[in-house]
Chain A
Amino acid sequence: MNQHQQSLETLQDIKKMMERSSRFISLSGLSGISAGICALIGAAIARPYVFSEKNLLIDEPAGIAQAVAGDYSIIFNTWLFWIAAATFISALGTAFFFTWIKSRREGIPIWGTTARRLLINISIPLAVGAVYIFRLIHFGTFGLVAPGCLIFYGLGLINASKYTLGEIRYLGYLQLLLGMINLWFVGYGLYFWAMGFGVLHIVYGVVMWYKYERNTGNQF
Chain B
Amino acid sequence: MMNPIDNLNKLFDSRVRLGIMSALMVNEGISFNELKELLAITDGNLASHLKALEENNIIKVEKGFIGRKTNTTYAITKPGTKAFKAHLDALEKMIRATK
Contact = CB atoms under 8 A, between A and B. Distances in A.
A17 interface: yes
Q: How large is the interface on A (under 10, 10 to 19, 20 to 34, 35 or more residues)?
A: 20 to 34
Contacts, number: 57
Q: How large is the interface on B (under 10, 10 to 19, 20 to 34, 35 or more residues)?
A: 20 to 34
A13 B27 contact: no
A18 B91 CA distance: 17
Interface of B: 5, 15, 18-19, 21-23, 25-27, 30, 34, 37-38, 40, 88, 91-92, 94-95, 98-99
A1 interface: no
A70 interface: no
Interface string A13-33: 111011011100000000000
B22 A8 contact: no
A17 B94 contact: no
Given A10-B18, A10-B91, A109-B37, A17 B23 contact: yes
A22 B95 CA distance: 26
A18 B23 contact: yes
> Would you call the interface of chain A mostly helix, strand, loop, or mixed?
helix
14 contacts: A8-B95, A11-B95, A13-B18, A14-B88, A17-B23, A18-B22, A18-B23, A18-B26, A20-B23, A21-B34, A107-B40, A108-B37, A113-B27, A113-B34
B38 A20 contact: yes
A13 B38 contact: no
Contact of A17 (B5, B38, B95, B99): B38
